[in-house]
Structure 1
Amino acid sequence: MDISKYGKVRPMRSTTEATWDTNNATQASLIHAPAAQDITAWYKYALISLNVVLLVGLVLNLVTAIAYVKSPLLSRGKPVHQLIFNMTIGDGITCLASQPFVLFLYTDAGQRYIVGRKFQCIASMVGMLISFDSAMMALILITCERLFAIHSPLQHMHRVTKKSCRVAILIAWTIILAKNVSLFFMNKWQSGVPCVGITVMTEAYVSYVYNLGLYTMLGSVALLNILLSIVVIVAKRKAGTMSASETMTKSVRRQIKSTRSEMKIVKIVFLAVGVLFLTWIPHNTLANVAQSYVSKQQAPPFGIVVGWHMTRSLAVLGTIADPLIYFLQNSGCHSAVLSLFGRSEAQKQSIYSLDSQTISKAISVVSVESSLHVIDGFCVLYKVTGQMH
């Protein structure tokens, strides 16, 4: 097949001049330049925008992760901080793991290096896929935790522990790794073809692993957040009704206070999910439009291809937005980051990051000690009175 009728393919080095099958030849027009226009002129802009986002995201997530480790949030904070820390680690991995794929796609040196190297090509794609899956899986975990916290705050206090959160995180990462490492066994890699998904992934992998996993996780994130919204609305109405009651007991007051405290982190979840969908939808939509042309043996319009490449940086913008959301919306994270830079006001706020169980234990210890002192006093008084009589 003469692939020139589907678009002008950018001349590669002599090592890339391989015989492509019909499918790969058609798909090549999606990666390179349709309608005799050179898409590679846009590569430097795509590379710059991606590197700026990934670099800033790496710095912000690194600062956040160090602040968490050096603060009492992980050791004495609420279990939900384990999940927020996991999201931070996932975003940091995204910034690092996406870089090889970006260099192999958008730089001449990267294209020359990756030709004929199967393991490096597939490994770069696996890293990119893991980075995106980790963000969605982290949102699924924290949304489930918030659902339980708002719906059943008292049960959540006893059943959701730091240990159970760590186990959930370990299981999630095991699923992510198993899903994406399977690409090493389900690929159609050929020496000489571009190192991108449509020329490396088999149809079985795309249909039953990539798309199935992708849309299952996206659907789960959307559905769980709809349920979370409903639970939040019901909880707020219930709390409002209880607050208006004149015969409100201490346990009811404690429940209302606990519910309001848990809702503060719900805002973080909603903002992070909103960023995910707003930044991911444009790139995915353009990719689907371009793929629809390819599936009909047609070259996609040049503007679609340009938009597809330029929105790659938008798809990873969450790596910058997420740590900023934590810092601005969570007092514990805010205090931890300020404390990392030696701000004294952070020390005054650090007490708010302690979980209710830790505070309850401290109060209980003080109460027991006070009671013992009172009992001792009565005993002494009794002995003295007896001697007087």
Structure 2
Amino acid sequence: MTRYSEFAPSQRIIMTPGPVEAEPRVLRALSYPILGQFDPEFTDLMNDTMSMLRELFQTRNHWAFPIDGTSRSGIEAMLASIIEPADKVLIPIFGRFGYLLQEICERYGAEVVTMEKPWGTVFDQEEIAAVIRIEQPAIVAIVHGETSTGRIQPLNQLGAVCRENGALLVVDAVATIGGVAVETDAWMLDAVIGGTQKCLSIPSGMAPITYNERVESKIAKRKRIERGLRQPGEILTEESILKPIASNYLDLSQLQDYWGPARLNHHTEMTSMLYALREGVRIVLQEGLDARFQRHKLHEQALVAGIQAMGLTLYGESECKLPVVTCVQIPPETDGESVRSMLLGTFGIEIASSFGPLKGQIWRVGTMGYSCRQTNVLHFLGAFEAVLIRHGLRIPPGRSVQAALNCYETPVSLGVETL
């Protein structure tokens, strides 16, 4: 007789900035029978997934496929594959994940130049453009949605500036893809990395990416250098020949051979996760990107109205608020972790705390993907109000839920689905 009991996780309402609740149809897809990675049904599935990812990223790029690993694996695969020795990389930082980009780039030998904004704010795009013109970086790497501060960085002008100055623009869209517009081609983004565990409502484990011909050209150049080859007139230095891409697993040149027509074996594909990714993206496209973005915005508005009706203060500049993450300042003399603990233990609702300079100062509430629905917002507001009252705050009872309901009445009459 085994001494281990069957594992049965508790049912939770997850309203963090990720992970979030998985879509039930995605969980069902995870249970499908395994296919061999070269079975024609499976390679057709791979092709389907690439096509669907192009729609998700709003691009005509040939390359759009997942990296097997968490979101960070996609970021690292992209940067590892395009950073050449001593490349200058510009990283505008306005939260924790900008520092992550800096660390990864430094590990791969880049000369990193940073510019920083106080947390809770973002950059004016012209500020970044001015530094690009001065520094002339080979790569600009930037976060689109910064979940540590609940801010979103405008990007619609940066792509053109990067192209004018010969730089590649690499965007971390892990927190925004599937919940907020990410217009890869229209904004001239050269490479975009997404995540599954946030607005796509798929378990963590894959990182969908896309990149254009400009990135592909640099990957091809590095591939030639590593093999000691050169095109007519191309000069190979001793330094570049001795420094191949450091990672085998995250080498996009090899992954292109795997995801391309050759189907050269690189690794054993994560079969069940690819089922989940395909189903999750299918659900997004079935809903429609514009409708999905409107739905996220609607529930954000209801959540914010309810929080403000309690007399609480939102954190950060409102003009650059990330629609899928709402940051709330913890009132003075309130134990933020005790509030989170009671929400989880009594009501089964999880929200997030923060870290770095914001540790102990804010709560972060996510409204992402399948977790972004009216029942969750209303249940959270009622529970949050009750918990805060139990912690001694003077909250007007019932007002928060009524404020949220007021937000839902008009949009519903206009045909916006509230889930």
TM-score range, shorter chain: under 0.3
More strand by share: 2
- Please say which structure displays the higher CA radius of gyration: 1
Q: Give the TM-score normalised by the residue count of structure 2.
A: 0.21
Q: Give the TM-score normalised by the residue count of structure 1.
A: 0.22
More helix by share: 1
